[in-house]
């Protein structure tokens, strides 16, 4: 079994490509089961965020070779159209990449904290869907631990902008001071909440929140003394906003160019600034063609991010050291797994010999009391344990070290031959 990675990110593909592969939380279980059923992988997890879409899969070479066909068959996006955007990983390469992602050094915002929660969510989704087992369970647990170490043992996350706060910084750079302005937030998720908090702390006078579930909009608006807006009413309320922040999981544009055009007539063409931090995008980019309308998507945040980068660059070397130590631990665990079948076979072989010899011994001593029989059985178990302790320990250590001793011990105890003899 091998560990495969297939993905693309903001580093390899623009938002108009990434949004084609974005998966909603509702479709993720179906996608994971498709990977098992149609592609043939043993284990699967999908990390789908606004900046990346990645598949982590465990399977044989045939399943690995078919991984790209998932894009064609499930997402109906020809893999051939993504050749310049896709990246692949195998075994330790795949693990290293996930550890880098969890540590925040592959993010648009270096050191940002949201990605660690997204990695946890991807793991939980795979567990809940029954597509993560021994290998991916261990991989994701180690990735999450690596991400935590990066943030507690280094200053990589200190001063880092979240995607939401970077959007607000961009609004400040383009629009000027935010004092006295009205902001409309579309979506009431975690990113929307963080963005709203930053806007209020930056002096926004009024915050409107619209969400498909009105109760969630009301809950978020109440935190900032704002106003909740019914979802079907937000296009009419666009005219009241100076700044619009869109962050939903809608499958297509929710703010159409005609919505913005109508709002601009009511605003008498006063500038309107829209920041789209959703993938797939929420705002029709055609709205940018209207006079005094400024539309920015998540890729436009790169300039803000770069300006915020210098103070954390020095931490990269320390994070890389942590990642490599975690990768070494992962490789050691993988090697140890190779010895586990031999260890299990040796333990089974020892138990079968013990049971056979005890049975034959007791048959020759039919008058032993129940207590005396238990003494014989305990003696046999003790001898078995002491004899096998050293070989089993050596097998485990040899497996971790990648030593040829694993194969040598298999041959020495004739384990394959014993299994063949004992097979029914």
Bridge partner list, 45: 56
Half-sphere exposure (CA, 13 Å, Cβ side) for 25?
10
146 is catalytic: no
Place of tokens 């903001």: 10
| Sign of the dihedral through C-alpha 125, 130, 131, 134 | positive
Task: Return the DSSP state at 162.
Answer: P
Least Cα distance to 238 among 249, 225, 229, 247 occurs for 229
The token pair at 140 is: 């994701």
**Maximum CA extent, the chain:** 106
Half-sphere exposure (CA, 13 Å, Cβ side) for 215?
0
Least Cα distance to 298 among 51, 21, 48 occurs for 51
H helix or E strand, kind and range, residue 3: strand 2-9
Secondary structure (DSSP) of 336-390: HHHHHHHHHHHHHHHHHHHHHHHHHHHHH-TT--HHHHHHHHHHHHHHHHHHHHH
Least Cα distance to 245 among 212, 219, 210, 280 occurs for 210
Given 6, 31, 46, 50, the catalytic residue: 50
Question: CA-CA distance, 233 to 209, in Å (whole number)?
Answer: 11
The residues annotated as belonging to the active site are 50
């Amino acid at each position: 079994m091998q560990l495969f990675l297939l993905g693309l990110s903001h580093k390899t593909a623009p938002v108009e490509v990434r949004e084609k592969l974005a998966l909603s939380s509702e479709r993720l279980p179906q996608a994971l089961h498709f990977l098992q059923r149609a592609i043939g992988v043993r284990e699967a997890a999908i990390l789908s965020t606004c900046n990346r879409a990645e598949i982590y899969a465990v399977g044989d070479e045939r399943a690995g070779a078919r991984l790209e066909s998932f894009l064609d068959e499930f997402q109906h996006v020809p893999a051939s159209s993504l050749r310049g955007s896709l990246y692949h990983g195998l075994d330790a390469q795949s693990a290293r990449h996930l550890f880098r992602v969890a540590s925040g050094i592959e993010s648009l915002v270096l050191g940002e904290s949201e990605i660690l929660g997204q990695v946890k969510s991807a793991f939980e989704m795979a567990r809940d869907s029954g597509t993560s087992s021994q290998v991916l369970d261990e991989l994701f647990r180690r990735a999450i631990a690596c991400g935590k170490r990066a943030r507690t043992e280094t200053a990589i996350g200190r001063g880092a902008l979240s995607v939401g706060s970077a959007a607000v910084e961009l609004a400040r750079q383009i629009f000027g001071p935010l004092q006295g302005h009205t902001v409309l937030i579309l979506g009431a998720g975690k990113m929307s909440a963080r963005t709203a908090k930053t806007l209020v702390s930056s002096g926004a006078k009024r915050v409107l929140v619209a969400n498909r579930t009105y109760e969630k909009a009301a809950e978020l608006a109440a935190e900032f003394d704002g106003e909740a807006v019914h979802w079907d009413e937000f296009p009419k309320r666009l005219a009241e906003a100076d700044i619009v922040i869109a962050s939903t999981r809608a499958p297509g544009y929710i703010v159409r160019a005609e919505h913005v055009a109508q709002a601009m007539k009511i605003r008498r063409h006063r500038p309107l600034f829209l920041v789209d931090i959703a993938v797939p995008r929420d705002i029709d980019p055609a709205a940018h063609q209207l006079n005094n309308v400024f539309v920015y998507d998540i890729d436009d945040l790169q300039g803000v991010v770069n300006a915020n980068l210098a103070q954390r660059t020095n931490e990269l070397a320390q994070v890389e050291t942590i990642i490599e130590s975690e990768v070494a631990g992962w490789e050691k665990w993988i090697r140890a797994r190779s010895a586990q079948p031999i260890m299990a076979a040796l333990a089974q072989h020892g138990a079968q010999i013990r049971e056979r010899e005890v049975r034959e011994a007791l048959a020759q001593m039919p008058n032993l009391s129940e207590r005396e029989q238990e003494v014989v059985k305990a003696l046999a178990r003790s001898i078995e344990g002491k004899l096998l302790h050293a070989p089993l320990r050596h097998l485990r250590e040899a497996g971790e070290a990648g030593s040829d001793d694993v194969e040598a011990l298999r041959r020495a105890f004739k384990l394959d031959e014993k299994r063949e003899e004992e097979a029914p």
